Amino acid sequence: MTDHAPALIDRFGRQVTYVRLSVTDRCDLRCVYCMAEEMTFLPRAQVLTLEEIARLGRCFTELGVTKLRVTGGEPLVRRDVMTLFAALGPLPGLKDLTLTTNATQLPRFARQLKAAGVTRVNISLDSLRPERFRAITRKGDLAQVLAGIDAARAAGFERIKLNSVILQHRNHDEVTDLVDFALERGLDITFIEEMPLGRIGAHDRAEAFYPSERIRADLGQRFELIPTTEHTGGPARYWRLAGAATRIGFISPHSHNFCSSCNRVRVTAEGRLLLCLGQEHSVDLRRVLRANPLDDAAVKRALIKAMAIKPEGHDFDLAAKPVIFRHMNTTGG
Ligand code: SAM
Ligand code: SF4
């Protein structure tokens, strides 16, 4: 991009180069930290079509965005979602096309995703014990997810990263096992502190909170963690283990504020542009897309204008009421 090309720069001088696109709010699992057991999902007419999402991807990349992450809900349960990857993969200027998935559908789709240009895949895995895995996901089959991880490895993505949300008394005692699992397979792993998004009903979030420092202390009993300055364009901070390719990341929205270097925005399945994960500031892109079906310039103007309302940061408070009412499945992880 030349110096004069329009770019997405906010009031604090941060350039948005990374967009997370949620393609559905639906999912085949019901993870306790993400969803309530009974969820009402969006009616189809309110969800962006795959063509509209691809169009947004094109507009974003023409404004200097280099990384797109497809997420959800579970993106791979959306019908015909491969056509979206096929449309996004060849976009000029796009350096990284990535996916966040629970892996249940990867045995079916891993090869096609690689062929469409997906470079990296993040896979959620919170437990290696079948019964616990089922309890945390409310209906998941660990064997199916492990088969998905194998399929991703066989497909040959540049990098595969596991995401583990760690909750006290649910899986905090598995952090060493999860690192061993990642090490044995040459995968990266990021531990995520639970964020207070949406009412979930399953547990008290303040009670379940397990901070990154405690995870590092637990891992320190077995491994020598070496701090690094590496980053992958996301909010995680990384450590390495001597002699291993595996990176161990920590996303700590409570303990470490990562807002000052924030380079990303999110688009919900219904086309709401969210300027910050922890705030409600948003722009209705669906309206702009549908009012200007042939005019990408109008869409790009709306994206540039939206930069003026990107907030400086968030301040999650586990005890605060009301919390952010969006669930993570509508936000896109
Ligand atoms: N279904 C896919 C998956 O599970 O990977 C993609 C969407 S999911 C919403 C994206 C990520 O958000 C997952 O890694 C999940 O563990 C994480 N997540 C969901 N709810 C969360 C919460 N309340 N706090 C922190 N992470 C959360
Ligand atoms: Fe589904 Fe992902 Fe949310 Fe779990 S974290 S319920 S897999 S969207």
Cβ proximity of 67 and 19 under 8 Å? yes
C-alpha pair distances (Å), 272 with each of 54, 81, 266 = 15, 19, 8
Q: Is residue 294 part of a domain?
A: yes
- For ligand 2, atom 3, the nearest C-alpha belongs to 34
Compute the average pLDDT of residues 95-100.
Answer: 98
Return the DSSP state at 327.
-
Find the angle CA(278)-CA(32)-CA(24) to the nearest 5 degrees: 65
| Nearest residue (CA) to ligand 1, atom 21 | 34
For atom 26 of ligand 1, which residue has the closest CA? Answer: 194
Q: Cα(333) to centroid of ligand 1, in Å?
A: 5
Domain membership of residue 245 (yes or no) is: yes
The DSSP letter of residue 323 is: -
Instruction: Give the range of the structural domain holding residue 298, as residue numbers without chain letter.
Output: 18-324
Q: How far apart are CA 21 and CA 71, in angstroms?
A: 6
CATH classification of the domain holding 77: 3.20.20.70
For the chain, give percent helix, strand, coil, nearest 5: 35, 20, 45
How does pLDDT run across 175-214, given as a tens digit for each residue? 999 999 999 999 999 999 988 776 666 677 777 899 999 9
Using the predicted structure, report yes or no on whether residue 317 has a pLDDT greater than 60: no
Q: Is the CB of residue 74 below 6 angstroms from any atom belonging to ligand 2? A: yes
Q: Which atom of ligand 1 is nearest to the CA of 329?
A: 9
Q: Which long-range contacts (CB under 8 A, 24 or more apart) does 149-155 make?
A: 149/103, 149/106, 149/123, 149/125, 149/185, 149/187, 150/107, 151/106, 151/107, 151/110, 151/111, 152/103, 152/106, 152/110, 152/121, 152/123, 153/185, 153/187, 154/110, 155/110, 155/111, 155/113, 155/114
What dihedral do alpha carbons 203, 282, 99, 51 form, nearest 10°?
130
**Residue 250: is its pLDDT beyond 80?**
yes
283 CA to centre of own chain:
20
Distance separating the N- and C-terminal Cα atoms of the chain: 28
Amino acid 161: pLDDT: 97
Q: How far apart are CA 8 and CA 273, in angstroms?
A: 13
pLDDT band at 242 (very low <50, low <70, confident <90, very high): confident
Give the total number of structural domains in the chain. 1
Is 274 a domain residue? yes
Within a domain: residue 5? no
- Report the range of poorest mean pLDDT among 142-146, 174-178, 256-260, 300-304: 256-260
pLDDT of residue 255: 58
Q: Is 87's pLDDT higher than 70?
A: yes
- The first and second tokens of residue 62, run together, are 């023409």
**128, 178 in Cβ contact below 8 A?**
yes
CB 16, CB 273: distance < 8 Å: no
295 C-alpha to center of ligand 2: Å? 34
Binding site membership of 30 for ligand 2 (Cβ less than 6 Å): yes
Ligand 2 center to 296 CA (angstroms): 32
Cα of 164 vs centre of ligand 1, distance in Å, is 9
Whole-number Å distance, alpha carbon 141 to ligand 2 midpoint, is 13
Q: Is the dihedral of CA 102, 214, 251, 183 positive or negative?
A: negative
**pLDDT tens string 269-284:** 999 999 987 777 899 9
Would you state the structure tokens that stand for residue 220, as one six-digit string?
A: 């320190």
pLDDT for 26 equals 97
> Is the pLDDT score of 300 beyond 90?
yes
Which protein residues touch ligand 1 with a CB less than 6 Å away? Answer: 27, 33-34, 71-72, 74, 100-102, 124, 163, 165, 192, 194-195, 197, 328-329, 333
Confidence of residue 332 (pLDDT cuts 50, 70, 90): low
Overall average pLDDT of the 23-45 stretch: 94
161 found inside a domain: yes
Ligand nearest to the CA of 136: 2
State which of 163, 167, 250 you would mutate to test the pocket of ligand 1, scoring each by most atoms of that ligand within 8 A of its C-beta: 163
Give the lowest-confidence range in 135-144, 240-249, 321-330. 321-330
Q: Record the pTM.
A: 0.92
Instruction: Indicate whether 333 belongs to any domain.
Output: no
- Ligand 1 pocket mutation, candidates 24, 99, 100, criterion most atoms within 8 A of CB: 100
Q: What's phi and psi for 71, nearest 5 deg?
A: -145, -165
The pLDDT-based confidence of 322 (bands split at 50, 70, 90) is very low
In a domain, 10, yes or no: no
269 CB within 6 A, ligand 2: no
pLDDT band at 1 (very low <50, low <70, confident <90, very high): very low
The whole-chain average pLDDT of the chain stands at: 91
pLDDT of residue 153: 98
The atom number, within ligand 2, closest to the CA of 73 reads 8
**Structural domain contains residue 144:** yes
CA of 63 to the centre of ligand 1 (A): 27
Instruction: Give the model confidence (pLDDT) of 116-168 as tens digits.
Output: 999 999 999 999 999 999 999 999 999 999 999 999 999 999 899 999 999 99
CA distance 160 to 153: 8
